[in-house]
Structure 1
Amino acid sequence: MEYSYPLSTDWSTQEMVDVVKFFEAVEAAYEKGIKREVVMAAYRSFKEVVPSQSEEKTLCREFEEVSGYVCFRVVKLAKELADGQIVRMR
């Protein structure tokens, strides 16, 4: 897919990497499946960069507009599963 991730110029390089890794985990959940613990680790790192729920919603909405993938659904499913299980969106 060819699109840009929603990023802030205020973030450090490492913070940008953490946010991109979260969006990549969301993509993987839709495209091939990804282990629950990988999604949750990426989400925890994302939340360290984006602690505000309103900013999280804004970024995830922007990501959904360009990718069609819904972050909320992936995180919700990951929270319901046990470690070792695969998060796969249908």
Structure 2
Amino acid sequence: MAWIKVPSYSQPVAIIDTHLNSRRASGVSDVRADAAWTMQAKTVMQFIHAKIPSSSAVIFTGDFNVGDVPSRINVIRDQGGFFPEARSVTSCSCH
């Protein structure tokens, strides 16, 4: 994570990038890959909540490797997303 001062913006912006565990590329069973992904996602969420005030602007990028995997979608949904207090969220799924 980095804090960047942006001209004409009153507060620094938090920049976060991550690459969460994939399934096939990890070379392990889907069950093991999903367990690792869940631990990683929850760790990222804990880090965000501990280090970034909810009033801060954030740019959060990376390869989240959620795909169409219901258990991974549910982990994020059950936590209210990576930023449950966010007032606005813009996302891009680039391939």
TM class by shorter chain equals 0.3 to 0.5
Higher RCO, Cα 8 Å, sep 6+:
1
**Greater fraction strand:** 2
- Structure-2-length-normalised TM-score: 0.37
Question: Rg: which structure is higher?
Answer: 2
Identify, as 1 or 2, the structure richer in helix.
Answer: 1
